[in-house]
Structure 1
């Protein structure tokens, strides 16, 4: 795959994050509700953080080990959030991660983006398994995983540190054979 992929759903386009997205990324990711519900996003969130994220996405695509997409509204191509697959090639699996701006919550956009990424991971990248983990207080993320056929595999108590406190992660997974059936 030489060119960055473009995935389309009924309402969304998933494509490459670009520097023109930086103002929206900073505005949306700067919302404490977003950063509190993600494992690695810092708060406050600055333009330098967005630039670092874009650089990580570009390097990941070059290395073929991290596919990070912008989530865009298909109607007007506006930036809404991000979604990606971090590959563990030695084990033929990836971890999916995602976030979407608060104004787009509870509208099914994230679930629609996750569906597209699962399809991309299993069909285009030929992965055997895709996993995901969410902070236990982010129940909505777990609902997205269940809606997309993922199965709870475990709970990791006090596994990560977020805002100086330990947080529990809930871990989900989906096998290619289960996705296809």
Structure 2
């Protein structure tokens, strides 16, 4: 039996759900949602189709004591929703900055889960950042709206490689000073 690692990462509460550290028991739901092409195509790093072991490796990285990214699960159990509704993370960068990344399972699209999660993470500022950046694909204006609603400011256009699309995809880049 494998023991759960102790993650030095706070639980961040919202009115409808909690942002909590990843657990090994999240494997099945993350795998189901991340395996959906609609989710993978909105991220830079989730391949589609999802190779065996991908999510297990992701969970191991998220639970490692030495890591450069803190990952939270959007857990809706307190409202009778799914234990995993999506994932949000902060990747540590230099100069006291991080990059936020997130995805929400399609069943919870248009429910403001992403907006609430980003806003809660920004307000909690668990890494003590001076600024948080983010980028979204041009064909995902809903994620751009999530960022602007949370006070992020548009910086410009760029391109980022998307593993699921096997192509460079145009992005909008945003930042928020804290």
CA distance in 1, matches of 2:55, 2:85: 14
CA distance in 2, matches of 1:165, 1:2: 34
Deviates more, 1:131-140 or 1:46-55: 46-55
Deviations 1:98-119, CA, capped at 9 Å, x for gaps: 0010010001011000011112
The match for 2:169 among 160, 163, 167 is 167
CA distance in 2, matches of 1:3, 1:149: 27
1:37 is matched with 42
Q: State yes or no: 1:136 paired with 2:138.
A: yes
1:179 is matched with none
Closer, same or farther: CA 49–64 of 1 in aligned 2, 3 Å: closer
Higher relative contact order (CA 8 A, sep 6+): 2
How high is the TM-score relative to the length of structure 2? 0.88
CA distance in 1, matches of 2:32, 2:52: 9
Q: State yes or no: 1:12 paired with 2:17.
A: yes
**Greater helix fraction, Structure 1 or Structure 2:** 1
1:115 is matched with 119
The match for 1:93 among 75, 92, 97 is 97
CA contact (8 A) 1:14 1:113 kept: yes
Deviations 1:76-103, CA, capped at 9 Å, x for gaps: 4611110010011x31000000001001
- Number of aligned residue pairs: 170
CA contact (8 A) 2:43 2:162 kept: no
Following TM superposition, by how much is the alpha carbon of 1:75 offset from its aligned partner in structure 2, in angstroms?
2.2
Following TM superposition, by how much is the alpha carbon of 1:125 offset from its aligned partner in structure 2, in angstroms?
2.3
Following TM superposition, by how much is the alpha carbon of 1:161 offset from its aligned partner in structure 2, in angstroms?
4.6
Following TM superposition, by how much is the alpha carbon of 1:20 offset from its aligned partner in structure 2, in angstroms?
1.2
Closer, same or farther: CA 23–166 of 1 in aligned 2, 3 Å: same
1:4 partner SS: coil
Stretches of structure 2 that go unaligned for 5 or more consecutive residues are: 1-5
Closer, same or farther: CA 161–15 of 1 in aligned 2, 3 Å: closer
2:62 partner SS: helix
